[in-house]
Amino acid sequence: MNKQWTIGKIKEFVEKNSESKLLTTEYHGFSQKLLFKCACGSNFEKTFTKFKNNNQRKCDVCQPPKTAR
């Protein structure tokens, strides 16, 4: 089932599932990078798909990128 995400639903998901805050005010699709504010105060960009499915819910300082295999 394909769930239609709106900016409101994304904001709600971010608030319930992470310490980050969503700063973006419009959502245009799954490939769009969204702007978030990490709990440490840093801003970072991620697509909602990565944020939601890959647990990339913090900035690169608090949650460094995984090393390539």
The label of the residue with tokens 């904001």 reads: 11
CB count in 10 Å sphere of residue 64: 9
Better pLDDT: 68 or 12: 12
Q: Are 40 and 47 in contact (CB under 8 A)?
A: no
Q: What is the pLDDT of residue 2?
A: 52
The first and second tokens of residue 27, run together, are 């959502």
pLDDT in tens, 9-33: 999 999 999 999 999 999 998 899 9
**Entry pTM:** 0.86
What's the mean per-residue pLDDT of the chain?
90
Does residue 69 carry a pLDDT above 90? no
DSSP, collapsed to helix, strand or coil, labels residue 9 as helix
